[in-house]
Structure 1
Amino acid sequence: MNRLIVRPFRPSDSIAVSQLFREVYGDHYVQPDIYLPNMISQHHAEGSWQSMVAVDDGRVLGHAALCRDTPSSTAELALSVVHPAAQGQNLATRLGLELLKQSDSVGLKSVSIKQVTHHPYTQRMAEKIGFHSTGLLPDFVPSPFAEPFPETIVMGCHLIAGHMRPLPDIPWPESCRAFMQHLCSVFGTHQDKTSRPAMPLQIKQQQHRFDIVIQRLNTRLLEQISQLPRHWLISARLELSRHFARDVHSFSALGFAFTGLIPTPGDDGWFALFHRGAQVRSLNLHCVHMQQLHDDMQQNANASIGNRSAA
């Protein structure tokens, strides 16, 4: 193998990039756009994807991209793939680092990453290039590895130098205090803002799961959530606020487990993540905080199964 060259994506690379994903993932990759080279070219022309490729003698052997809804000051480091012939050369790390170097120049304030849990490599790479794991998305997408269970995702966040995304300076519940204090040490704190633009309540079905987005909990909404079908798998995103301790208690009473934080779509702010109905499974995660969240969620899932059996 000749020396690999890492360079920006060119429109002529679209067919080779699509073929690379087919060779590595077959028909199982979760982003269908990569199977249409015209869509790859379109995303780059629109500016919603900004990719780097690794090329050896004209053959594309690696790819990664910053993906965002333009215009936006946040992006996701995604679509990372390395051909088996080029593995063992830290190629995903090199591609990711190169994209992060370009982040500030294209107006980004933060970059997120979804780390798969089927293997530890994405999680190790993310930590190596400066991402901090913030939350779990249980059973989030169909497995790109053709596994029977959906893939659980670890969310990571990387702040571009000079920018902040602080957490509210509030007392944290004992059940998650160590984890939340860790995130405060990474992202900082601020006095909680008492008023924000109104955010509409949302509920959408995503394959096997129902996703709910909430700005503020109240008694009436909690009652309505409690009446949703018990067999539904539900992931809730609730804006992090000074009411967090009360919210954790309220969701816990409904059988939800707290699974960490995820950045809100805007420049600042966080969602607290809650999940009900996770698959019972064993995962060995790279981050000790994510491992604890997973273990707590599994304990919650086992307790829920026991309660249903007793009933």
Structure 2
Amino acid sequence: MTRLIFRAYRPSDAGAVSQLFREVYGDHYVQPDVYLPNMISQHHAAGRWQSMLAVDDARVLGHAALCCDTLSNTAELALSVVHPAAQGQSIATRLGRELLRQSGSLGLTSVSIKQVTHHPYTQRMAEKIGFHSTGLLPDYVPSPFAEPLPETIVMGCRMVEGCEHPLPDIPWPERYRALMKHLCSVFGTRQAIASRSEMPLQIKQHQHRFDIVIPRLNRHLLQQLSQLPRQWAICARLELSRHFTRDLRSFSALGFAFTGLMPTPGGNGWFALFHRGVQSRPLNLNCPHMQQLHDDLQHNANATIGHRCADAPIGARSAA
């Protein structure tokens, strides 16, 4: 077997990196930039991507990158791919570990990861190199494996040594107390204070899903959310606050399921995630806390389908 070399990306690697993604994923990878070597070069030249490669004498066999937002102190460990001929050598783990080792010198405070659920390997790798799963993003992107259902993602977060990202020190609902106790032990806690968030209310459509960002929930906004079309698949990201238990009840009354937490961009806060209108599917997840969230989500989805069928006219029920 040819000895592998692990090294940093070079400008001359763009074409080989693009070819690696084509060989592994065909036309189905969810980040279209990898299909244009010029885009790969552009991201590296601008400092948005910091990549590590695994190469032999002939070709690039593995790739992973830290993807950074402009003027942000956080990054995502992403674009991880290993050629089938080189699998079984812990290449993704070694690339990820090296990039995390560099994260402090890049001025980062935390690194996130989106773990696919079609197979268990990304989840196992993320846990092995120190990520902690915090929440689910159901039906998040088209499947990179050419599957009919969209890919559900497990969000993971890892703090750079010496940095913190505490959760508010508040009472947690009994159903999610074990999850929150675990996350508080990992990320720490701080006194819960009134939010001074400057994030605006946002709503955007991403293919089949509507993403809503909510800095704070009030009675008027809750009424408007209740009037959104019932057939919409919605991901709501609500800034986590001392009102979480009340907000959880409000969203549950609208048919949403709680699916965990994710860090807010460019700050030290957290989003509470709520989803409605997801597709029914079985998943076996590596993290027991994420498995509980998925099981609750599926129960909620099946109950919603049942209510829709019960509310439908008799003729429509027969047609279904």
Same fold (TM over 0.5): yes
How much has 1:153 moved relative to structure 2? 0.1
Answer yes or no: is 1:257 the counterpart of 2:257.
yes
- Contact preservation (8 Å) 1:164, 1:188: yes
Equivalent in the alignment of 1:100:
100
Query: Structure 1 counterpart of 2:260, which letter?
Result: G
CA distance in 2, matches of 1:310, 1:215: 35
* 1:193 shift after superposition: 2.5
**Cα distance between partner residues in 2 of 1:305 and 1:25:** 33
Residue type of the partner of 1:9?
Y
Are 1:3 and 2:3 an aligned pair? yes
Q: Report 1:165-244 matches (<5 A).
A: 165-244=165-244
Q: CA deviation at 1:108?
A: 0.3
Change (3 A) 1:219 1:124: same
What runs of 5+ residues in structure 1 fail to find an aligned partner?
none
The match for 1:51 is 51
How far off is 1:155 after superposition?
A: 0.2
Instruction: List per-residue Cα deviations over 1:162-221 (Å, max 9, x = no partner).
Output: 000000000001121111111111111000131323211000000000000001000110
SS in 2 for 1:76: strand
What one-letter code is carried by the residue in structure 1 that aligns with 2:160?
I
Percent sequence identity is: 79
What residue is the counterpart of 2:13 in the other structure? Answer: 13
Rounded to whole Å, the distance in 2 between the matches of 1:190 and 1:58 is 52
Name the residue aligned to 2:147.
147
The one-letter amino acid of 1:197's match is S
Find the aligned partners of 1:228 and 1:197 in 2 and give their Cα distance.
25
- More off after superposition, 103-112 vs 266-275: 266-275
Where do 1:251-290 residues align within 5 Å?
A: 251-290=251-290
CA distance in 2 between partners of 1:161 and 1:50 (Å) = 19
Counterpart mapping for 1:96-135 below 5 A: 96-135=96-135
TM-superposed deviation, 1:294: 0.1
What is the Cα deviation at residue 267 of structure 1? 3.3
CA contact (8 A) 2:110 2:158 kept: yes
- CA drift of 1:160 comes to 0.3
What amino acid sits opposite 1:294 in the alignment?
H
Partner of 1:158: 158
- Aligned residues, how many? 311
Equivalence for 2:318: none
**CA distance in 2: counterparts of 1:100 and 1:267, whole angstroms:** 20
- Structure 2 CA distance for aligned equivalents of residues 75 and 267 of structure 1: 12
TM-score (norm 2): 0.96
- The 3-state SS of whatever aligns with 1:34 is helix
Q: Which amino acid aligns with 1:142?
A: P
Contact 2:255 2:276 in 1 (8 A): yes
**Shift in Å at residue 127 of structure 1?**
0.1
**In 2, Cα distance between the equivalents of 1:35 and 1:3?**
27
Residues 195 and 241 in structure 2, CA contact (< 8 A), matched pair in contact too: no
Contact 1:131 1:157 in 2 (8 A): yes
**Per-residue deviation at 1:158?**
0.4
Deviation at 1:68, TM superposition (A): 1.1
Give the Cα–Cα distance (whole angstroms) in 1 for the partners of residues 105 and 281 of structure 2: 42
Question: Distance in 2 between the 1:22 and 1:189 partners?
Answer: 44
1: CA distance between counterparts of 2:197 and 2:273? 20
Q: Distance in 2 between matches of 1:111 and 1:245?
A: 28
**What SS does the aligned partner of 1:106 have?**
coil
CA distance in 2, matches of 1:226, 1:257: 14
**Structure 2: gaps spanning 5 or more residues:** 312-320
What CA distance in whole angstroms lies between the structure 1 residues aligned with 2:262 and 2:274?
11
For residues 196 and 160 of structure 1, the distance between their equivalents in structure 2, rounded to whole angstroms, comes to 25
Mapped to 1, the partners of 2:44 and 2:111 lie a distance apart of: 18
Instruction: Please give the alpha-carbon distance, in whole angstroms, between the structure 1 residues aligned to 2:197 and 2:15.
Output: 43
- For residues 121 and 22 of structure 1, the distance between their equivalents in structure 2, rounded to whole angstroms, comes to 20
Shift of 1:22: 0.1
Question: Displaced runs of 4+ in structure 1, greater than 2 A?
Answer: none
Query: For 2:84 and 2:34, how far apart are their aligned partners in 1?
Result: 18
Deviation at 1:72, TM superposition (A): 1.2
Opposite residue 237 of structure 1, the aligned amino acid is: R
- After superposition, the C-alpha distances for 1:78-115 in whole angstroms (9 at most, x for unaligned) are 00000001000000000000000000000000000000
Match of 1:89 in 2: 89
- For the residue of structure 1 that corresponds to 2:61, the secondary structure is strand
Q: Is the 8 A contact 1:93 1:129 kept in 2?
A: yes
